[in-house]
Every structure is written in C-alpha cells, then in structure tokens.
Structure 1
Amino acid sequence: MDPIEEYCRNITRREFFSKMAVGAGAIAFGDLLTRDGYASAENPLKYGQMGAPHFAPKAKRVIYLFQNGGPSQLDIFDYKPGLKQKFDQDLPDSVRQGQRVTGMTSGQNRFPVAPSIFEFKKYDNNQDGLWVSELYPHTASMAHEMCVMYGMHTDAINHVPGITFLQTGHQQPGRPAMGSWMSYGLGSANDNLPSYVVMISQGYGNMQAISSNLWSSGFLPSEHQGINFRGAGDPVLYLSDPKGMNRTDRRRMLDAIADLNQEEYHRTKDDEIMARISQYEMAYRMQVSVPELTDLSDEDEDTLALYGPDVHTPGSYAYNCIMARRMAERGVRFVQLYNRGWDQHGNLPNEIKKQCKASDQPQAGLLKDLKRRGMLDETLVVWGGEFGRGVYSQGKLTEENYGRDHHPKCFTMWMAGGGVKPGITYGQTDEYSYNILDGGIHVHDLHATMFHLLGINHEKLTYRYQGRDFRLTDVHGKIVKDILA
C-alpha cells in the first residue's frame, strides 16, 4: 500500500484536526466535488471504492419499496380478462409445462384457474395505457411516471431464498446486500447519516420473517451494512446517551476508544478495526442528525396529506415513505423499505384489499412529492416483491374467495424516475400470467440495470474475497436498454 494512502486511512479524528488545519478550504472544496461524482486523478480525494461513477449517472440514489411476501400480479397489474371464462377449469399442462410448485400445492389433485375478482381500469401512461386494478387508484394516477415490467422472473420459489436473491444476487445468505455494494462503490453523500438505511412496516396478511442478513455487508467492510431505523423508541438502537453521560463525556470516551483501536490496528493491520472507528464516529454524529431527520414538524399539511392518514404513525408504510424522501434529500444513497404482509395463500381478496389500501396512497404520494421537488429525475424508485402468484387457487376456490401460491417464473415490478422511461410497459405474459412471452427480466438483469442508472458498470464493481473477485451480479446480468430514457 502507498505510504500516503496508508497514512490517510489510519489517521484519527484528533490527529486530523490537529495536523490538517492548513488547506482545509481546499479539502472541503474537493469534498464537494467528490460528492457530486467528479472525483478524478486530478482530484484524488475519494468517497467509496470507485472514487467516481464509471460513467455519468442518471440516478444519484435509490428508494426500493420491497413488497415482502410476493404480491399477486394478477390482482393488481397484469390484467387477464379472458380468465373469467376459465373459472375453475384446470390449468392446462401445456401452460404449466412441468414447472415446479411448492410443497403447499404439490399434493393438490387439481390446479383450478382463479380469475381476479377485482375490476381493472385503463390509465393514461403516455403509451397505450396501463391497466391497474381498483385496489391501486392512487398508484395508477402516477402511471405516466412509471415503467411497469411484466416479465420479471427469478430462480427461487420460496421466501427466504427469494428475498435473499433480490437483495444480494444470491439465494444463500452471506453475500453483501445491494445497498452495501452501492455504499462500497459510491460512498456516502452525508457525513452525518448512513449511506444505506432500512425501514420495516407491518402489513395485513401472512408476514414472512426477515432478518438483518438481508441488509448485511457480507464480506465487505462492515461500515457498509444497512442501518435499521425502527418504528418505536429510538429510531436507531443506543442512539440516546445512558443516564449520567453527556455529549462531552461521549466524545472523550470515543476518542479514548479510537486511540486504543488505532494501536490495535498498527499491531494487526486488520481493516475491520478502522471500520469500527468509522462506525463509532458515525453513531456520534447521528445523535444530532437523526432527531432532526425524524422530526416532521417542518412538513406542511399539503405534503403530509400526500402520504395519507397514517403518515404520523412511526413504522407505518406512510411514515416510512415520507422518511425515505427526507433521507433522499439529505444524501442517503440507498433507502430500503420492507413492506410485509403479501404472502396470501388463502383469503387473498380480503387480505390484499387491506394491504393495498395501506400502501397505495403512501407510495403514490412519494412519487408526487419527489416530482414536485425536482428530485424524481435523480431518484430511482423501485417497487416489487421476491416473486409473483400463480393463476390457480391454492385450496378451496369460490367465486368470491381464493388463495394463490408462489410463482417465480412470471411477476410484475415497476420503476420510476432515475433514468427509466416514464409511462411505459415492458414485457408480455401469456393469457394465464404464467409464462413470459416477451421482454423477460431476470433478477441479475434488474441489478445490472439499476447499477447502470447509478453510473456503475456492474462487471467492474468487485471485491476480492477468499481468492475470488465477487460482484452483485456474479457472472450474469445484462442491462435492459429498452427501458432506459
């Protein structure tokens, strides 16, 4: 390692302020340039492994609205009116094509077709029109901003590997999450907030368990892991000082710990020690920045109304959506919202009504809010779950009630802003929404395309671990150029 680079990596906060007063103005100017993506050989000050995007980015940040559990594309976006004539008929073998099903339906004697009971309406989206069910009127009102992708498909058929695959590019846990890769590559745009934040809201259906593995930094340095903002108590654990400790005491304690960690680093050369120092400093700064971030008193009533009546309830989807916008304003690179409750194997019509009602207005409000603030063009908003739902009923089928099992070979996601074409649909499915006829997008393709919009060549952002260069897309992934603006 170059001696100057090693010195810069290992310098403590105390040493920095004592030795680097001269030239602070130039450093600050370089900092501003770097944060806007202009780092170069002439301006080597780096934030993130890349130092600067590989090419000019369309998006500076991502808000990922992950619908945990697998929303039914048949009941929301993928309109199949012809299915009403096929009610309770067996799904043809020519359609199923021997595709695997889960253990929950593999023992069924029949696979009866279950048409959606919900009405669909065509909305203007600048193209041929977008069909959306009555469950999502607010979201449908933003059709002119959305790129709806019907041909999503994945390798996983069960929740844990499916969710893990969408977040990390691999079905087995242990790999870095997408947000961690972004943080590692592009760095932070705000010294006082994490570059990767996670928030969770509870829904109204069967809620699959999620864990911190989904926002782990894996084998990347630990300062790139996602920070989970909670819906109750302190937004971040241990944000408040213990009784009897004031901010001056906390500063002295951190300086002492940093000195000890510095000595240990010089002894072991373990980079994780430097990551630990960085995390302690971030936690200290967050004690001031997070209370300001979570205080909605500066939001006007018109803005709050965009997100719906639950906007003041911490942990609700509405609250998390407005928090996502506030974080995006403050430079957080990657905001991940986990919206639980979409695992509707039975009683789907009743559960999906509640789930959609809770999520419809907040996510539409988020798009409207970003648009009117001039932020949508530079913010990539992504919506979707780990897979879709099958056309056949799981369990008993009636004209008013049915359930749907997992379906990985065909589901719907949408994106908006951040360099994707607004007001389009992409891909086509068969009459049963069971197979993709055109415009298939694999999970690796989605990741490659998202990274492209952020100015990242997904093949070049790698990390050497155990003798191999790893990347988010592994050895796969192609950019879906047809959806790029």
Structure 2
Amino acid sequence: MQTNPHWEQMTRRAFFSRSSAGIGAAALASLDASAAPAAAANRGAVGGLPNLPHHEPKARRAIYLFMSGAPSQMDMWDHKPAMADWYDKDLPESIRKGQRLTTMTSGQARFPIAPSIYKFSPHGAAGTMASELIPHMASKVDDIALIKSMYTEAINHDPAITYICTGNQLPGKASLGSWLSYGLGTENENLPAFIVMTASWTGRKEAQALYNRLWGSGYLPSKYQGVALRSSGDPVLYLSNPDGVDPAVRRRMLDSLSRLNSATADRLGDPETHARIAQYEMAFRMQTSVPDLTDISDEPKYILDLYGPDVTTPGTFANCCLMSRRMAERGVRFTQIFHRGWDQHGALPKDLPNQCRDVDQPSAALLTDLRQRGMLDDTLVVWGGEFGRTIYCQGGLTKTNYGRDHHPKCFTVWLAGGGVQGGVVHGETDEFSYNVVKDPVHIHDLNATILHLMGIDDQRFTYPFLGLDQRLTGVEETRVVSEILS
C-alpha cells in the first residue's frame, strides 16, 4: 500500500493528535514514568517533546562562545614551559607518530618548535596556569572547568566546525541548538529558542566563512533552525513591516495566509507547512520582542563598564555577550556567538593578542553578570573552537613572527555554570601539546555532556530519518565528562 511520504515524517506528537484519543492516551502512558518528575522542570516551556527532559536538568539554558578558526591552546591555557629548550628544534617523529598533516605544512622540510612567547602564571585556589593574554578569564579559573584533552578527527576548518556543531563532518545534519530547540522548546514564545550572532573581530581578516548549516535544523522541521541576529539594520531580516503596512493589516494578512496554509497541511500532511505557519506567527511576535531585546539603553553604567569599551558598539563580541545575557533572561534556550579570525597560520604574535582582547573581558564579564543575577547556576556557558594548533611553526620562525597549523589531536575548551564544577582542570597533553596523554574527550563527548546538563540522555535523544535513528552524537558510544560536573 502506498503512503504519503509526508506522513512518514510526522512527529510522534502529531501522530497522536491525529489518532484516536484511546490510542494516544495508551501511547503516552507507555512513556518512561521516571521522566515525569524531570519533565516538571521544563513545565514553563513552549513546545518541546513531552518526555523531555530525561532527568533533572542542571542548566535551563546555554550560551556557546565559539572561537571559529581554532585558538592556540599552548599560547592561552596549555602551559608547556619545557618547550623553551626546544626552540627551532624539529618536532620528534616519536611525538608526531606519522599523524596526518595539512597540505599547508606537509611539504615543509622541517617542523621547527615555536614555544609560546607569552608568560604564564598560576591563578585561583588550585594555581591553574593561564597566559598573560587572558587576564580577565585567568581571574575566573575558580568558576570554570578546563578540558585540555579535547580531540577530533577533522583537520580542516569547514568539516571540523560542521562536525562539532552538528555531529557530522558532512553537511545536512541538525545543529546542537536545533536539537535543544526541538527537544526542550523555549521559555518565551515571543522569541526563538535558538539565536545566533556573528561578532566582529580584530585579528586575521582572512577568516573562514561561516555557513548557516552550522545553526541549521537539517532533517528536523525548519522552525528549529537558529535565527541569526544582525548587528546593523533590522536585527532580523524582513522583520519590519513594509512601508504602508501597519500591524493591523499585517495581522489580517497572516490570518488569511494561515487559513490557506492550514488547508494545504490538511490536504498534504507536510509538517513543513505547519512549521511555516509557526514561523510567520513567531515573526509577528518578534516585531515587538526583538527591538526590546536589542535596546541596551536600560543597562546601568556599571554593567556596561563590566563588559568593556566595545559593549555599546553593535556587532562586537562584548555587545554580543551582553545580548546573550539579555536573551538568557528572556528565556532563550540556546545562544551561540561565533567569533572569527583565530586561524593564525602566520603573524600569530600580531593577531592573537587582538583576538584575546576581543573576547577576554567580555567572556569574564558574562560569567560575573550571570552570577550576580543568580543565573549562572542554571545557565551553561561553553567556550572553544573546532580544533587546536601545532607546537611547530608553519613557514619561517623568528622570535617575533611565526604561525601555527591546524591540529586536531588536542585542544582546550572551558565550561562554566549550569552544573559544572569550577576550578577543575581535566585531561593532560604531552610536553609538546601534541597528543592527549590522560583523559581524552572527543567532541561527541563534549556534546553529550552539554545535553546531559540540559537534562537529556544523548543515547535516547533521536530523530528518525533515512532509516536511521539520528543522534547529535552519532552512532558511536559516548561518555559524559562526569569529572567536571558538580
């Protein structure tokens, strides 16, 4: 018997709503009863799945500070003092172990070691080492958990950033924010559950492109994709009414369009039609909620000073961090800020300090701001990039000018708030910051940990597509990094 392919894509909720009350009630009753108390933690949400969260969440919302281009871990967090004695000596083959190189350095005759030129000093109760490039975040080491043993299989930017954002190196998968929006819904029906911002940067201007698939919904209904907030003009494209169209006219137009779309949905059963109806309605509500969100004139001076001198300039990382706090206050489930320019293949001593100045004070300010508002305990903050950098130099090496190539075998991220134990350093790398030697953490494990803190078991959080129960964390077994949890 032939079936309409759109019905095969129907969500469980839609199926039960179209089925008889008896069948729907029986199916709902079969859901894991142990999830009921945890689901109460998400009771104020709009949308989301009825059986989520799986367990009591530590974080109600998350803010992801993504450093696109890959920050140099050994110049910021992964202190390697022994490298001073290795200046301009070749990386030993016993360390490299025949590992894959990019085409940018695979043809080099030598792989000269370039020790970090930046001073490190101990901070916090445990004496965590941090670079002089990040003095504000260094003062926050007791609030964050550092993971120094992250690794990935991707060695080039586009597949690597697609991998960590969507769980697969190939395009077409749903992003982390879309999964959270789909599973948990939003706490404010007048704003999207998932908002994205791309911050300006002052480092290397030849930055890698960012594609909307990084915040796309993939095979999930399109209403779960991230909404990009712009720094100039309308905060969201086409949000304002055209000249001559007032809100009353707009409302009548949407009502008529909704009736037409509903008739189409009833005839064809395409879930995307319902998604389109919901998106039109969200856009109408956002015409009021977004201008209020982006107007920071009500922020007191001491808060603006906390984030630094760039905070009043739209599109800067400081402004985006303040905006992310305002979004968190208003119930936005997931906010992601992309900061580009971290791809320092050359001129690292010139560009890296600029990048760090962009993000250091605002990142620390965000943690302070959330804490003083009583929000850090249930807001997860994540900072990191798609991979790390090599200890050896790309191209020529001098004391004042060098660059580093891509390195997937180890890099550093930090997490704070929302169930994360502060003052923790997890994992170790070898003396060259080249291989993980203790407690490796795959990027799937990082995403599994983020989901866990939001109350979701990544192994049970699936969506059927192309004959496979798709997961953000792929088909492999994953591990929640319990050592960093409070």
Corresponding pairs, count: 454
Distance 1:355 1:291 in 2: 29
Aligned partner of residue 118 in structure 2, secondary structure: coil
Distance 2:173 2:40 in 1: 27
Cross-structure match for 2:480: 479
Q: Which amino acid aligns with 1:140?
A: A
Aligned partner of residue 459 in structure 2, secondary structure: coil
Structure 2: runs of 5+ lacking an equivalent: 1-11, 21-37
Cross-structure match for 2:409: 409
Deviation of the 1:298 alpha carbon: 1.0
Point out the more displaced range, 314-323 or 202-211.
202-211
Cross-structure match for 1:27: none
Distance 1:353 1:38 in 2: 45
1:302-352 superposed Cα distances (whole Å, 9 cap, x missing partner): 011111000011110000000000000100010000000100000001100
Cα distance 1:3–1:81, how it changes in 2: closer, same or farther (>3 A)?
closer
Determine if contact 1:34/1:46 at 8 Å carries over to the other structure.
no
Distance 1:422 1:209 in 2: 33
Cross-structure match for 2:171: 173
Alignment of 1:196 onto 2:169: no
Cross-structure match for 2:59: 59
Q: Which amino acid aligns with 2:122?
A: K
Q: Which amino acid aligns with 1:142?
A: K
Cα distance 1:307–1:46, how it changes in 2: closer, same or farther (>3 A)?
closer
1:49-73 superposed Cα distances (whole Å, 9 cap, x missing partner): 2443101000011100000000000
1:443-484 superposed Cα distances (whole Å, 9 cap, x missing partner): 010011111111001011111112211010111221111111
Deviation of the 1:383 alpha carbon: 0.3
Distance 2:405 2:122 in 1: 27
Aligned partner of residue 393 in structure 2, secondary structure: coil
* Match of residue 148, structure 2, among 137, 147, 150: 150
Determine if contact 1:179/1:215 at 8 Å carries over to the other structure.
yes
Cross-structure match for 2:42: 37
Aligned partner of residue 310 in structure 1, secondary structure: coil
Alignment of 1:6 onto 2:7: no
Distance 2:426 2:88 in 1: 30
Q: Which amino acid aligns with 2:463?
A: Y
Cα distance 1:275–1:139, how it changes in 2: closer, same or farther (>3 A)?
same
Cα distance 1:4–1:161, how it changes in 2: closer, same or farther (>3 A)?
closer
Cα distance 1:167–1:158, how it changes in 2: closer, same or farther (>3 A)?
same
Cross-structure match for 1:14: none
Aligned partner of residue 456 in structure 1, secondary structure: coil
Q: Which amino acid aligns with 1:6?
A: R
Structure 1: runs of 5+ lacking an equivalent: 9-32, 40-44
Alignment of 1:79 onto 2:84: no
Compute the TM-score of the two structures, normalised by the length of structure 1. 0.91
Q: Which amino acid aligns with 1:5?
A: S
The 5 Å alignment of 1:282-301 reads 282-301=282-301
Distance 2:39 2:243 in 1: 39
Cα distance 1:50–1:404, how it changes in 2: closer, same or farther (>3 A)?
farther
Determine if contact 1:445/1:478 at 8 Å carries over to the other structure.
yes
Determine if contact 1:38/1:52 at 8 Å carries over to the other structure.
no
Q: Which amino acid aligns with 1:434?
A: Y
Cross-structure match for 1:116: 116
Distance 2:46 2:137 in 1: 39
Cross-structure match for 1:399: 399
Distance 1:243 1:164 in 2: 39
Distance 1:286 1:325 in 2: 18
Compute the TM-score of the two structures, normalised by the length of structure 2. 0.91
Deviation of the 1:47 alpha carbon: 2.3
Determine if contact 1:199/1:336 at 8 Å carries over to the other structure.
yes
Cross-structure match for 1:235: 235
Cα distance 1:46–1:371, how it changes in 2: closer, same or farther (>3 A)?
closer
Distance 2:217 2:109 in 1: 44
Deviation of the 1:38 alpha carbon: 4.0
Aligned partner of residue 193 in structure 1, secondary structure: coil
The 5 Å alignment of 1:435-450 reads 435-450=435-450
Distance 1:51 1:468 in 2: 20
Q: Which amino acid aligns with 2:132?
A: E
Distance 2:482 2:311 in 1: 36
Cross-structure match for 1:324: 324
Determine if contact 1:51/1:186 at 8 Å carries over to the other structure.
no
Distance 1:3 1:384 in 2: 39
The 5 Å alignment of 1:3-402 reads 5-6=17-18, 36-38=41-43, 47-124=47-124, 126=125, 128-203=126-201, 204-205=203-204, 206-402=206-402
4+ residue runs over 6 A deviation? 1-4
Aligned partner of residue 70 in structure 2, secondary structure: coil
Distance 1:466 1:133 in 2: 47
